[in-house]
Amino acid sequence: MKPARATSVTPETPDGPARGPSAWRFVVVFGGVSLLMDFVYEGARSVTGPLLAHLGASAAMVGVVTGAGEAAALGLRLASGPLADRSRRFWAWTIAGYVLTAVTVPVLGLTGVLWVACTLVIAERVGKAVRSPAKDTLLSYATAATGRGRGFAVHEAMDQVGALIGPLTVAGVLALTGGDYALALGVLALPGVAAVALLLWLRARVPDPVGYETTVGAATPEQPDSTEKPAPVGSRGRRLPRAFWAYAVFTAATLTGFATFGVLSYHLVVRHLMPTAMVPVLYAAAMAADAMAALATGWLYDRIGAQVLVVLPLLSAAVPALAFTDTVWVAVAGALVWGAAVGVQESTLRATVADLVPPGRRATAYGVFAGIMGVAALAGGALAGVLYDVSVPLLIGVVAGIQAAALVLLWVTRFARSTSAH
């Protein structure tokens, strides 16, 4: 094993690097960056389909372009994660990814050429792939001091505030201007610039956040269900831990049986349960449920450990049973449950990865984990769409069976985690 790289040149305090913000302040400021950037890209994503259609795209083209974008956002992390680990330039990867998103979204509103717009839609998603493993690694250092679950949960909750404001802002500008996409997306340049400026400020204040983790003396906080020995900071073993792979299989199962919001909103519109204009409002409400679920499960994760993840298969199984009914309020409840499940996926799942993998391999782990999630999410969306056309009761039954299997896999993950320490 290669010797650990020197990680900090400044003395440290109990809360982290000296003369810098505390671990909690680091998490909150980073959450502010994500809030502002979610304002940008979620605002753009809320009108990607109508914008491309306005430029002459067919439904098939919209599906291919947006699907390619999501594949890029997740699949390319298989490369960006290991590259970030090898270079150890986590800030550079994070900044580059945010800048790419901040630039592409306003330009998207200015173009009148379909192929250019399609390229920009995919480029925005590439920006997410570039930054995410490095960003999650930086956050994992600070959350070692704040508590993994709470730290990632607070970050996710702030993230979703931006996801709520962005689409509503774009919808408001479009309504006031009669559908001026250039102005609606141009407005998003302001939070984009603010996000990059705040990120650069944080980079200057905390050039090496690994100090937060070294001061707590371990790569993982004590949790009731974990007997793993902490790996030293800077450890770069070639293989990811066995418990990580077992956990990845559990995550893949929960996502394979997880319906997408696209299918949920399709049901609401084609069954005439809700006008199209109300769908973004429901999506915003789902994002609010996302934030609340992230905070709740993050707090519980730090109290009782990974056992809290039992809620994820239960929520995922409940989504189709509620959302695909013909009763409006029940279907709306299903969409809110969907949002709560996404909140667990985006916060507590990420916190668990940080606890399972030593710092020297953590960006790689986040990249691999995202790739697995991407494949599973694609399979889940396709499965939900196909079964919806065949039989809604069959869809509900199949998803329930998959989530039951996921509960078994969660138990296996816990066993693998406990035995990996020996």
- As a three-state string, the secondary structure of 53-100 is HHCCCCHHHHHHHHHHHHHHHHHCHHHHHHHHHHHCCHHHHHHHHHHH
Q: What is the pLDDT of residue 302?
A: 86
Q: What confidence score (pLDDT) does residue 59 get?
A: 58
Task: Please give the residue that has the higher pLDDT: either 417 or 257.
Answer: 257
Distance of alpha carbon 55 from alpha carbon 121, whole angstroms: 13
Model confidence band, residue 202 (pLDDT cutoffs 50, 70, 90)? very high
The per-residue pLDDT for range 103-112, each reduced to its tens digit, is 999 999 898 8
Assess contact for 337 and 326: CB atoms under 8 A. Answer: no
Residue 228 binned pLDDT confidence (cut-offs 50, 70, 90): very low
CATH number at residue 41: 1.20.1250.20
Phi-psi category of 58—alpha, beta or left, where left has phi over 0 and alpha has psi -120 to 50?
Answer: beta
Measured between alpha carbons, how far is 82 from 64 in angstroms, rounded to an integer?
28
Report yes or no on 2 lying in a domain: no
Which structural domain, as residue segments, surrounds residue 239? 20-222+231-419
> Is residue 5, in this structure, part of any structural domain at all?
no
- Secondary structure (DSSP) of 161-187: HHHHHHHHHHHHHHHHHTS-HHHHHHT
Q: What is the pLDDT of residues 22-31, one digit of tens each?
A: 899 999 999 9
| 3-class secondary-structure state, position 12 | strand
In a domain, residue 7? The reply is no
Bridge partners, 13 (sequence order): 16
Say yes or no to pLDDT of 90 above 70: yes
CA 113, chain centre distance (Å) = 30
Query: Does residue 13 belong to any structural domain of this protein?
Result: no
pLDDT value at 226 more than 70: no
pLDDT higher for 409 or 275?
409
pLDDT of residue 410: 83
Statement: residue 333 has pLDDT above 80: yes
Q: Does residue 233 surpass a pLDDT of 60? A: no
pLDDT in the model for residue 4 = 38
Which pLDDT does position 216 carry in this prediction? 58
Using one digit for the tens of pLDDT, what is the confidence trace for 345-376?
888 888 888 888 888 888 899 888 888 887 88
Residue 338 lies in a domain: yes
Task: Please tell me the predicted confidence (pLDDT) of residue 67.
Answer: 66
Cα dihedral sign for 416, 78, 349, 146? positive
pLDDT at 214 over 80: no
> Model's pTM, two decimal places?
0.73
Hey, how many other C-beta atoms are within 10 angstroms of the C-beta on 404?
Answer: 13
User: Which helix (H) or strand (E) covers residue 217, if one does?
Assistant: none
* Cβ atoms 106, 185 nearer than 8 A: yes
Give the per-residue pLDDT at 3. Answer: 37
103 inside domain:
yes
Percentage of residues of the chain with pLDDT beyond 90 = 30
Residues in Cβ contact with 88 at an 8 Å cutoff, skipping those fewer than 6 apart: 5
Answer whether residue 413 shows pLDDT above 80: no
State the residue for tokens 């102005």.
Answer: 183
Q: What integer pLDDT is reported at residue 221 of this predicted model?
A: 41
Number of domains in the chain: 1
In a domain, 406, yes or no: yes
* Model confidence at 75: pLDDT above 50: yes
With respect to residue 129, please indicate whether it lies within any of the assigned structural domains. yes
pLDDT of residue 65: 80
Amino acid of residue 182: A
DSSP code of residue 361: G
d(CA 155, CA 86): 26
Q: If DSSP codes are grouped into helix, strand and coil, which group holds residue 13? A: strand
Query: Two tokens at 351?
Result: 């916190």
